[in-house]
Amino acid sequence: MGAQAFNTLGVKQKTLKDTLQDEKIPKVFFDVRNDSDALFAHFGVALRRVEDVQLMESATRKTTASRKFLSGLAKCVEKNAPNMLLSGSNLASWKQVKEKGERLFKAEHGGSYEVFNQRPIPEDIISYCVCDVQYLPELWDRFWKMQTYRWRDLVNEVHKARLAIDLVAIRSCYKRAQAPSII
């Protein structure tokens, strides 16, 4: 579908692009950087009002030293599984699905991103994508409740910085895996 997916008017005369760029509508991501880059580079979509669960998790840590590096999604899910009533067997199954999907697209496992262009989309890729988003609502809710208003403001500042158009300049300020210094 390409650009048509972002530019087709819906029932209320709004496009998906309009929704993604609307400051009034919150959008939840986990590490929005690559998604933001791709949406802007390919479709001219400049995300607004993003709430990044990765940054929210970092802000809940108790010490500055513990906030130096950002956690990946798997670590966040693992660490918070008991709070999300996620049993050991369900967690193991979730990890297995993620690993199986990654082998299909990560070059170091002999995969290729071309798998995302196959039609129909392979079932293992669909399952992988489901795993990427299925716990975001629970993680968001948990981390949002744990943050003080001060931290919420700081996290929102970093969200906005991550979405700035000049992403190259922002990324040169800190290493890929390091957390922004204000968190």
Spell out the residues 6+ positions from residue 113 whose beta carbon is closer than 8 angstroms to its own.
105
Tokens representing 103 are 């082998």
pLDDT one-digit tens code per residue, 83-140: 787 888 899 999 999 999 999 999 999 999 999 999 999 999 999 999 999 999 999 9
At how many degrees (to 10) do helices 73-80 and 136-146 cross?
70
DSSP 8-64: ---TTS--HHHHHT-TTS-EEESS-HHHHHHHHHHH-----SEEEHHHHHHHTSSST
* pLDDT value of position 85: 76
- CA atoms of 159 and 128, how far apart (whole Å): 25
- CA atoms of 177 and 168, how far apart (whole Å): 15
Spell out the residues 6+ positions from residue 83 whose beta carbon is closer than 8 angstroms to its own.
142
At how many degrees (to 10) do helices 88-105 and 73-80 cross?
170
* pLDDT value of position 169: 44
What one-character DSSP code corresponds to residue 92?
A: H
Mean pLDDT of 165-173: 46
At how many degrees (to 10) do helices 88-105 and 123-133 cross?
120
Q: Is the peptide bond before 180 cis (omega within 30 degrees of 0)?
A: no
* pLDDT value of position 178: 56
pLDDT one-digit tens code per residue, 33-72: 899 989 998 999 999 999 999 999 998 888 888 889 999 9
Mean pLDDT of 156-167: 64
pLDDT, greater one: 166 or 142: 142
Residue 27 has pLDDT above 90, yes or no: yes
Reported as a pLDDT band with limits 50, 70 and 90, residue 181 is: low
For tokens 């050991």, the residue is: 88
Q: Domain extents for the chain?
A: 1-68+148-183
